[in-house]
Structure 1
């Protein structure tokens, strides 16, 4: 059984953790609309963030830091997935700097979150994680937090990004 924590509360993660070099289908509802679509890819690599809810301080900081990286490293694509409604993601984007991040909602069927193995069973929200996928959507970097309320290690992510340039 795979687990994550919110404070001291142990929670289970659905399915299997995505393996290195395993392909993941990236689809959901892009912010502002409810139509399901695959993530638009233009570059060889995409950085993907997953988080519980856009309206929490740790998630906000995760997105803001990723937005900064999207401006610093334009040779990558960027996407995020949560179970926030697409309209909530649009409201967030209207009031915050999101850079080149495509904000996706996986509220409909949780297929992307389950593909990564980061859907929290008891709450039906995402664990906090960061991934880098290659042009075939195969995982080349992953970081899944044990503690949902802890921020991801952006230094580790950025080091991997530098290696891939």
Structure 2
């Protein structure tokens, strides 16, 4: 269980993140068109998993925008923005923001992604949402970088996450 904060108030997650140099757990998430996406669908690509509570918060929106900008310059890399928002809200957000280099995926159906990856918030006002996490995977789905942001209102360390791909 990770100890993080939300607005300075302590909250916990349901577990620990998968560790560096391990294979990322498989997932099943909903795309904007309600199709199901699995980790294996991105086989052969490097992946940035940009995970956050909701696109309707400023920091979450900022991280999606930042990775969208940076992803345009990355070869063979997919940026997957993952939250428990409904796919319709995610699609509306991308359309309004003009985001074309990230793919939104939703864990709205059952929260299994958040549970499996150990990043579901247990308590406080964001209970059952995802904590702010960045996980970078190589082409073989090996975790080469992971960051559990200690304060949900804080942006992730973009530079270090992106440098993991260099």
1:118 aligns with 2:122: no
Q: Measure how far apart 1:19 and its partner are.
A: 1.4
Q: Measure the CA separation in 2 of the matches of 1:145 and 1:111.
A: 20
Judging changes above 3 Å, is the alpha-carbon distance between structure 1 residues 136 and 109 closer, same or farther for their aligned structure 2 residues? farther
Please report the TM-score for the alignment, with normalisation by the length of structure 2: 0.89
Q: Measure how far apart 1:31 and its partner are.
A: 1.8
1:154 aligns with 2:158: yes
- Once the two structures are overlaid, the 10-residue window that deviates more, 22-31 or 151-160, is 22-31
DSSP 3-state at the match of 2:69: helix
Q: Residue 132 of structure 1 aligns with which residue?
A: 136
Q: Residue 58 of structure 1 aligns with which residue?
A: 59
Which sections of structure 2, spanning at least 5 residues, go unmatched?
none
Q: RMSD value over aligned CA atoms?
A: 1.6
Contact 2:45 2:77 (C-alpha < 8 Å) held by counterparts: yes
Q: Measure how far apart 1:44 and its partner are.
A: 3.5
Contact 2:135 2:145 (C-alpha < 8 Å) held by counterparts: yes
Contact 2:44 2:140 (C-alpha < 8 Å) held by counterparts: no
Task: Report the number of matched residues.
Answer: 161
- Runs of 4+ residues over 6 Å off in structure 1: none
Please report the TM-score for the alignment, with normalisation by the length of structure 1: 0.89
